[in-house]
Structure 1
Amino acid sequence: MVLFPDWLVAWMPSLLVIGIGLGIAPLLPRSNGWMRLAMMLVAGFFSLRYLTWRVTETIAPPGFTLDAFVSWSFAFIEAMTIVSSISAFLVLSRHRSRSADADANLPWVETAQPSVAILVATYNEEWPVLERTLAGAMASQYANKTIHVLDDGRRDWLRDRCAALGVEHVTRPDNAHGKAGNINHFLRQLRERGREVDFVAVLDADFVPHQDFLTRTLALFADSKIGLVQTPQHFFNPDPIQHNLGISRSYPDEQRFFFDHMQPARDGWDIAVCCGTSSIVRWTALDAIGDFPTASVTEDYMLTSVLKMKGYSTAYLNEPLSEGLAPEGLKEYITQRSRWCLGLMQIVRSSAGPFSREPLRLRDRWSVLDSCLYWLTTFPFKIACIVYPLLYWYFGVTVVDARLYDVISYFGPYYLATMMFLNFVSVGMFVPIVNDISQLVGAWEISRSALTGLVKPHGHAFKVTMKGGDRDRIVIQWPIMRRFLAAFVLTVVGLLIGLTSDYLFDAHAGEGKAVILFWTLYNLLVLAGTMLVCVELPRTASILRSRPEQVEVVVDGRRRMAWLTDIHAEALRLRGLSLPLGTRFICRIPEVGEVEAEVTLSLDASLDASIALTPAQREDLIEKLHTRSGVPGTAAVAAAGLGAGLLRRIIAGTVR
């Protein structure tokens, strides 16, 4: 006697996961370690269940056949990706917040008043970018500090600007070892002058510290075992994924998961890592290790491992204490992530790697190996997911030999449990398709960097991520888009062949034809979205304000009120006001004063205007926008706004 039909039996595991995700998970405290562990075990169980099924029941028989090669190779890539995911799940099963420690130790900072050297490493950034950072450093509420601009571009104009601000400008005769070499050169100079300090704070040229950055981070150093304190990176402008998809106000930047959720989890295991900017390191710890390591282009991550060898730990203070400029161009975005991948592979091959004979704890080795697995599996797997279905459509190769009900029974709950756990720990940050787009767009370059770094770890120059510049027109990144366009066309043609001919689709797919069809249609959505990202839209204003601010506008002597929604040093955007092009007016902005403006774009009840600020107003605006406590940008997913933004982008081709 059959109690349940086959289709219901197949869906039962997925329904169980859905019930846990919708009925139980929302009631559990996300910061509780036992609750995180329980949810991790659910995700881990269904992942291993799926992996076991894939390896034992869906792979072609061994042999020297194309089917066997394709089936086994894809299963291997997928298996390694699942192993990487389970490792990440285990990391995420813990969580730590150090804010209470910082609160408790503030009296120590006020009493000891240790000396701090703020280092701003720069190469080719424009003055408006550097101006923000230096204004923020000078506005710090901490008194016992010095500010040093380490200029690897050796620019006379920057020397003069620094002199006017009373900030030290430092150059060196060469650019050896990139950013790490630049910092080490200055540290040697300090020692030669006999001006050693207690702590060294590192800021990228485009990162503005908040007024309480130093006081909050220094408080954790009351624990003598802490050698470095890292804080999260927040961004006041949208990254290329957000901007080009039109979802800047409804979808967080791509790094939010790592900084807001992965780093606190790593800190729970005492394996948090340095990420360069917005960090502060103990001088005696630098002395102990011989300054910043230069064996990797990601000297920041390696610094954590080298400090561990000398008994110093890295602490993570998950508070918004700085904000910076995300890469605005897609090429720069990909270059940055490829450098991170290359640097991690160099660390794997170094004395600080997971297989080193140096005195590293098992968890520290796991930390590096976990990061290595992420770079080695995530991005090649995204490429494989696009390429392997094409082998079926054009050559009849069976990638996954499985019945539809089995796929529903095993893959369904695995995928849902993974999404459930990740969204449980990240408060709903993982959105299918959008998440795949963000990983696919740079998958080719990142995968190449991973292989290059493992095979040839030495001899790679540090590639600077370009920031700023003129971005007032549409730019199509054809060199990047071509591969996605080719994959899209090949997928559409293959699909049409399969649907209009019984040669492959009916004869070889069996019950799995619905699976390959769904897989292909999903790929087309991801590829279409990735191509949209390759169309870079103009950027008129660069500041993402979380709340509009009401301001007074004076036009021809008449007072009107409007909402200030965006502003930077050259332009502003107002809502609730319509004026003809070329109209001059005065905008009274709290804490900045009366600003002269001229309308450059007028759309219904909103407008853009160029503005002219005095030097004092520029400084006041920077302090108002970037140095106060609070989180810039978008911190959480807004489902309705996300859908609306994507729809507007697809239909109208604009973010407005």
Structure 2
Amino acid sequence: MAFYFDQFEQRRPEPPLPYSPVLEAVWQCLFVIALVLGAWYVHWRWTASLNYDALWYAIPLVIAETGAYIGLILFAFNLWKVKDYPRRPPPQFISECTRDEAAEQRPLKVDVFFPSYDEDPELVRLSVRDAKRVTYPHPIELNIYVLDDGRRPSMKQMADEEGVGYFTRSNNIGFKAGNMRNAMEQTSGDFIVICDADTRPFPTILEHTLGYFRDPDVAWVQTPQWFFDLPEGKPLPVALQRRLGRPGYWLGRGVERLIGPIRLGEDPFVNDPKMFYDLIQRRRNWANASFCCGAGSIHRRDAVMEAALKGFADEVERKSQRQLKQMQRLTGEKSADTSTAGLLRQGMAQEEELTPYRFHVSEDIYTSIVLHSDPHRKWKSVMHPEVESKMLSPQDLLSWTIQRFKYAGGTLDIAVHDNPVMRPGLSLPQRLMYLTTVWSYLGGVWNLIFLIAPLVYLFTAIAPVSAYSIDFYKHILPFLVATEIAFMAAYWGISSYKAKTNYLSFFPINLRAIWTVMRGQKIKFPTTPKDRQEGNFFHLVMPQFVVIMLTLLGLLYAWLQYLLFAADYTLNGLIVNTFWGMNNVVALSGIVLAAFWQPEPAAASTAELAAT
């Protein structure tokens, strides 16, 4: 059976960014300068710049700027330094991975889980076959299991044909987390490799990661996720030739000679996760705060089960104490006897379920928080820098939206119901790292204000500041320039512009996630489609499109008013808000165009370029 990604099978991931202590010192210095200038700017905004004739406009904007500045501080803390865990040789016996002196001298047992619900069995077959090719320098007991929540005979047949295990169940309680719990009850591997249905592990995944578990406190290792099917786009000369003929081709070549190669239609959804794994997650290692992201992670079974048992005992005790207090209120007794308390605990234990992975849409990060906060074990997490598997990316805007909403909603739901910032057992750096993640999803609030603010000025000539004066430029420009330079140094080796614009255009999904959690609604568990969804997705970007149209209309209206009717606009105000508005338009246009994106075979554009 042929798949669209067959043409990309020979792609290989980029190596992780090389560590440079000199570059690290440079960006730390630049970050400090940017943060000091930012504090100066925010202080000035609150104390000396507000337009008191329009506080309804000025106050929300300065609050948004303050929220963004707090996010900048947290992000700078996240990116502060690189401290990779040292690679250690792969262990030969399980006794090398534990403190138990009585541990038996036997080879390691590893289970590979492929949870699935509605994915094509032939797609899962590719993942299973790659898992069967995993190698290890020592004898090892490797067992592969397909965990089928879809209860499909075709999936069972595929597993039988490939000679791997197959588990299913009569219900879908707990979704992916419940699916894995069901598998753990029937397996006994020392380590568990978590894969998605489309996760195709490289042969080296165990050889490169199991060495970390020589430290008996390492609970899990996360490897970077890599989408090997990201669209490469069309070279600019080819794209222009299609529209303008031969002159378009030469125009494109001329532009590329000036500013370098340009490809149109390249990864329209900004799916490339290299920035997240190679920068954000990797730089949390020093604080023992990189969190599990599910697919491509390797877990110590004992750590997961120990945390589950402690969580089970704590929940039983909590519910028992609540029942005892209710009984005491009814009976008027000041205390309950020991036998009654024991019976209540026994009853609660029978009702409560033991869940190795939390029944949650973001069970991966939830499990990370539980393990990191264990005050007795102080479990460690490792972000392994090298890619050890390949996956499929969302191929349309609908799939992308489903995935991003789950990420945002799941994280915010955890923040509301089990806030890691206040959770006992976490260190201060860990709390700040988790706060950084939560804070980033709150950004939809101030991003909306940043998108609306220039519209207010363009349509009303009302400014949020007392004046667009030299004092304004003196405070804002050094802060903006220093911040951009600091991020250039911090992101050195990775293109960051698309990621920043994508974050701004993400605001409707963030706001919907915030509203869903605030209303107390549960975040649903839909699987991200692995096939391209056909249809018109323009309705998914209507908010961004409306902002673009209003901004362009506002620019036309404001400049005409200024030039023809001598309205209350100032030239400085128009210049500032024109740049601001156009930045918003450019940032939002990418996601709007992505709604109409259609994939093209990579070979087509290459062949066209060669033919010319």
Match of 1:102?
87
Distance 2:71 2:580 in 1: 22
Aligned counterpart in structure 2 of residue 446 of structure 1, from 504, 510, 514? 510
Q: Deviations over 1:295-333 (max 9, x none)?
A: 531111111111123321111111111111111111111
Q: Higher strand fraction: Structure 1 or Structure 2?
A: 1
1:139 aligns with 2:133: yes
By how many angstroms is 1:464 displaced?
A: 1.3
For 2:450, which of 358, 364, 385 is the aligned residue? Answer: 385
Paired letter, 1:57? A
Equivalent of residue 385 in structure 2, options 302, 318, 321: 318
User: Which residue number in structure 1 is paired with residue 485 of structure 2?
Assistant: 420
Partner of 1:489: 549
Instruction: Pick which of 72-81 and 294-303 moved more.
Output: 294-303
- Aligned position for 1:173: 170
Q: What is the Cα deviation at residue 389 of structure 1?
A: 1.5
Alignment pair present for 1:149 and 2:146: yes
Q: Give the aligned residue type for 1:450.
A: I
Q: Which residue of 1 aligns with 2:120?
A: 126
User: Could you tell me which amino acid in structure 2 is paired with residue 279 of structure 1?
Assistant: S
- Do the aligned partners of 1:148 and 1:170 also contact (CA within 8 Å) in 2? yes
How far apart are residue 182 of structure 1 and its match? 0.9
2 CA distance for matches of 1:269 and 1:523? 35
Matches within 5 A, 1:210-289: 210-238=202-230, 246=264, 248=266, 253-289=271-307
1:93 positional shift: 1.0
Q: Deviations over 1:544-596 (max 9, x none)?
A: xxxxxxxxxxxxxxxxxxxxxx5xxxxxx6956xxxxxxxxxxxxxxxxxxxx
Show the counterpart of 1:466.
Answer: 529
Q: 1:352 to 1:482 in 2, by over 3 A?
A: closer
Q: For residue 346 of structure 1, what is the aligned residue in structure 2?
A: 413
Contact persistence 2:121–2:154 (CA under 8 A): no
Q: CA–CA distance in 2 between the matches of 1:76 and 1:288? A: 43
**TM-fit CA distance, 1:30:** 5.0
CA-to-aligned-CA distance 1:129-180 (integer Å, 9 cap, x gap) = 3122112111100342100011111111111011000011211111122211
Q: Distance in 2 between matches of 1:499 and 1:199?
A: 65
What is aligned with 1:362?
A: 428
1:200 corresponds, among 155, 174, 192, to: 192
In the alignment, which residue of structure 1 is the partner of 2:474?
409
List runs of 5+ in structure 2 lacking aligned partners. 1-18, 97-104, 240-262, 309-354
What do residues 252-290 of structure 1 show as CA deviations (whole Å, max 9, x unaligned)?
Answer: 744221101111110112111111110011111111122
Q: CA deviation at 1:497?
A: 1.6
Paired position in structure 2 for 1:87? 74
Tell me which protein shows more helix as a share of its residues. 2
Report the CA distance shift for 1:94/1:242 in structure 2 as closer, same or farther (over 3 A). Answer: farther
Counterpart CA distance in 1 for 2:486 and 2:293 is: 25
Larger RCO: 1 or 2 (CA < 8 Å, sep 6+) = 2
Instruction: Pick from 375, 380, 402 the counterpart of residue 441 of structure 2.
Output: 375
Alpha-carbon deviation of 1:431? 4.5
> Corresponding residue for 2:601?
540
Q: Secondary structure at the match of 1:116?
A: strand
Contact 1:94 1:269 survives alignment (8 Å): no
Say whether the 8 Å CA contact 2:268–2:591 is kept in structure 1. Answer: no
Aligned partner of 1:527 in structure 2 is 588
- Name the residue aligned to 2:160: 163
8 Å Cα contact 2:269/2:591 also seen in 1: no
For residues 164 and 367 of structure 1, the distance between their equivalents in structure 2, rounded to whole angstroms, comes to 45
Taking the aligned partners of 2:64 and 2:296, their CA distance within structure 1 comes to 36
Q: Quick one: distance in 1 between partners of 2:495 and 2:70?
A: 19
1:104 Cα shift? 4.1
Matches within 5 A, 1:319-334: 319-334=386-401
Aligned residues: 506
Give the Å deviation of 1:525: 2.5
Structure 1 contact 36–92 (Cα < 8 Å) conserved: no
Secondary structure of the structure 2 residue equivalent to 1:149: strand
Query: Which residue number corresponds to residue 478 of structure 1?
Result: 538
Q: Give distance in 2, aligned partners of 1:320 and 1:70.
A: 47
Q: Which residue of 1 aligns with 2:63?
A: 76
Assess if the C-alpha contact under 8 Å between 1:498 and 1:505 holds in 2: no
- Of 134-143 and 275-284, more deviation after overlay is shown by 134-143
Task: Supply the distance in 2 between the matched residues of 1:146 and 1:136 (Cα, whole angstroms).
Answer: 13
Q: Give the match's secondary structure for 2:186.
A: helix
CA-based RMSD of the aligned residues comes to: 3.0
The letter of the residue matching 1:336 is: Q
Q: What TM-score do the two structures reach when normalised by structure 2?
A: 0.76
Task: State the 1:77 CA deviation.
Answer: 1.4
| Equivalent pair of 1:108/1:222 in contact (CA under 8 Å) | no
User: Which residue of structure 2 lines up, in the alignment, with residue 56 of structure 1?
Assistant: 47
The aligned amino acid for 1:313 is K
